[in-house]
Amino acid sequence: MYLNKTPELLKPLASDLVWDLPTTEKVMYVTFDDGPIPEVTPEVLEILKQYNAKGTFFCVGNNAALHPELLKRILAEGHAVGNHTYSHKNGWNTTQFAYLRDYQKCQDLLGTKLFRPPYGRIKRQQVNALKKRTRIIMWDVLSGDFDQNISPNKCLQNTLKHAKEGSIIVFHDSLKAKDRMLFALPRFLHHFHELGFRFEAIRPGDIN
């Protein structure tokens, strides 16, 4: 069970997490979880380049360690990277010590000021420990590209219906999501590009 649009009522209840970046400008923030992997991430980078779009890649540390050339390419092309733990830990099922150790192992590799908890699942005590050292980035719109029970077009419609100025949108550069994501992403970018939107990476300095 997941929601494609984060309820507005939820955001004030966890205001120390970043759900969107409110603005009146035509700008959105496209993010990618779980990579980088050679089977998917290079295709994402080529699509982004077509629209002069900058994204934010929340990298699993193990993938980044296995594919350092992709991490270098992401940064060289002007995108941002975020910590997604080293081994994709589910915070709800992980002790405080193990979770923070896994975060730090990824952090030693990436040195980023951004973090997104895998599955969006994180305990309040984990939030309290991590928010002192990083900005915890959640999302406003979830594409659902990881859901093997929906069609590529449904994935696209999830984003077109809910995205707006300042939205943080989640896609996945993973094998599981590949077919739906590669269908939805270019069509999403084209739609909003035609409406005059630009797509920027999330930078810590842009967060209030």
Kindly report the pTM of this predicted structure.
Answer: 0.96
pLDDT score, position 7: 84
What is the average pLDDT score of the chain?
96
**pLDDT, tens digit, for every residue of 60-73?**
999 999 999 999 99
**pLDDT, tens digit, for every residue of 28-58?**
999 999 999 999 999 999 999 999 999 999 9
Q: Known catalytic residues?
A: 33, 172
Q: What are phi and psi of 20, to 5 degrees?
A: -160, 175
Give the C-alpha separation, 3 to 80, whole Å.
25
pLDDT score, position 3: 85
pLDDT at 143 over 80: yes
pLDDT at 109 over 80: yes
| DSSP character string of the chain | ---SB--TTTGGGGTTSB-B---SSSEEEEEEES---TTTHHHHHHHHHHTT--EEEEE-HHHHHH-HHHHHHHHHTT-EEEE--SS---GGGS-HHHHHHHHHHHHHHH--SEE--GGG---HHHHHHHTTTSEEB--SEE--TT-TTS-HHHHHHHHHHH--TTBEEEEE-STTTHHHHHHHHHHHHHHHHHTT-EE----GGG--
Distances (CA, A) of 109 to 11, 82, 119, 183: 30, 11, 21, 31
